[in-house]
Structure 1
Amino acid sequence: MNCLLCNAPLNYRLSILDLVRLAPLPFPIICSKCAKSFTKIDPAAACPGCSRPQSSNHLCPECQRWTQQYGWHLHHTALYTYNEAMKEFMRRYKFQGDYRLRQVFQGVFCRQVQSYHADLIIPIPVTATTMATRGFNQVLGLLGQTTVTNVLNHRAQDKVAQSCKTRQQRLATPQPFRLTDPTVVRDKKVLLVDDIYTTGRTLYHAANLVKQAGCREILSLSLAR
């Protein structure tokens, strides 16, 4: 077996415990060198609103501005920084459509999702055009067999990709989503899931709809920040 990212041979030595336990064998997917190239975010040294790495645990200026705009702020968790290794991963997985790469972070991502014990897990959707050209929703790929509630839809069939916009253009994006059935989220603990948190604009659009529909609690999660 070779590393999914660099194709280097993977050498894994089974332990006695691996041989006797009644569970799938934990074979590695990527090599240790590739694994070390990704930087995990320490929640104790990050903004509690958006997971931006920082020296204090106070809300960062961005989250303070969101609070001024909405009267509340997201409680968002991101697992990794959007460093060069993560950019290359996303380029291959999301933009070049290498669906195999979902396996790299699927395990750690799903464990984090399960730790919230949310009533509803709502992935950020892609447009019909993106689905037709890419063939998959990258967020659903990270979620594996996790049960999700697809209650968010794009208003438009096509849109300019967020990755093609400047920061100011992202922040000025009008509400792109609609809730297909607002009653589904009422009085529920909701977890919104996306792949990357950049400005927060996308998640705040989605969160605002869900809050207006009467959810009990809302949290959000992304792979990278």
Structure 2
Amino acid sequence: MSDLCLYCGNPIKEVISWKGFFYSEPQYLCEDCQKGLQAIEGKRCSCCSRSLEKLPEELMKGGVCLDCFRWEQNPKWTGILQHNTSLFEYNDFLKEYLARYKYRGDHMLAKVFRFQLATCLKNNNYDHIIPIPLSEERQYERGFNQSAALLEEAQILHSHLLSRSHSEKQSKKSRRDRLQQKQIFTLIEKDFNGQSILLFDDIYTTGTTLRHAAKLLKEAGAEQVTSFTLARG
């Protein structure tokens, strides 16, 4: 009997190959749903991973997107976040997928990304990989931290070294509100002197959340802070 797609429930057709005789990574999505995950390919912003393939010239500046150029022109934020790497486009399919995962408690959907995340993050030289935390209220409401759960499913060691104050959901804030938000994080550990830190989150949208976390870590002595997200919005 065929396995069923974790997302749509349709049978998964097994693809037979010579490689599969020796090792086969389990498939969790059917062929149609797998096509919904669009990897970021081609030319991308060196700061945030945004695809530059179809971006108008007026929204680019010196090989980076205009958003990142503006972040780096602001003395308060220059060099705070070294760069971000994202795997997938935040298209309609992934938007609905992550909404079901985060807000409807379908924890099993994290399995789909275990191989990609393990491949990208297992052999790393970071002192800490820190998932972006939820506030206590939001964690209670959802039942789990979606970013930490993705790392756990991929068996990536990570550290809970940040806490977060409660605020309105990021998804309900306008772009302007996100960019103007006050510091929402506090450090659980105070000394990161000379350390290399990787922040992990599910989506990079404006980069505000990641930069606020990175700023605290840099102020606590971190030598460099980079980030990795599943999707680039």
Give TM-score, length-normalised by structure 1.
0.90
Is 1:195–1:222's contact at 8 Å kept on the other side of the alignment?
yes
Pairing partner for 1:105 from 106, 110, 113: 113
What's 1:128 paired with? 136
- For the residue of structure 2 that corresponds to 1:220, the secondary structure is strand
Is 2:46–2:63's contact at 8 Å kept on the other side of the alignment?
yes
What's 2:208 paired with? 201
Is 2:82–2:224's contact at 8 Å kept on the other side of the alignment?
no
Compute the RMSD of aligned alpha carbons. Answer: 1.8
What's 1:223 paired with? 230
1:58 aligned to 2:66?
Answer: no
Pairs within 5 Å for 1:1-225:
1-12=3-14, 18=20, 21=22, 25-42=24-41, 44-55=42-53, 58-69=63-74, 70-72=77-79, 73-144=81-152, 145-154=155-164, 156=165, 158-183=166-191, 185-225=192-232
Map Cα deviations across residues 70-125 of structure 1 (whole Å, 9 max, x no partner).
Answer: 22253100110110011111111011110010111122123212244312101100
> Which AA in structure 1 matches 2:193?
R
Give TM-score, length-normalised by structure 2.
0.87
Map Cα deviations across residues 164-216 of structure 1 (whole Å, 9 max, x no partner).
Answer: 11111111110000111121x22111101010000100000001111111112
Is 1:170–1:199's contact at 8 Å kept on the other side of the alignment?
yes
* Gap regions ≥5 residues in structure 1: none
What's 2:57 paired with? none
**May I ask how many residue pairs the two structures share in their alignment?**
218
Sequence identity (%): 36
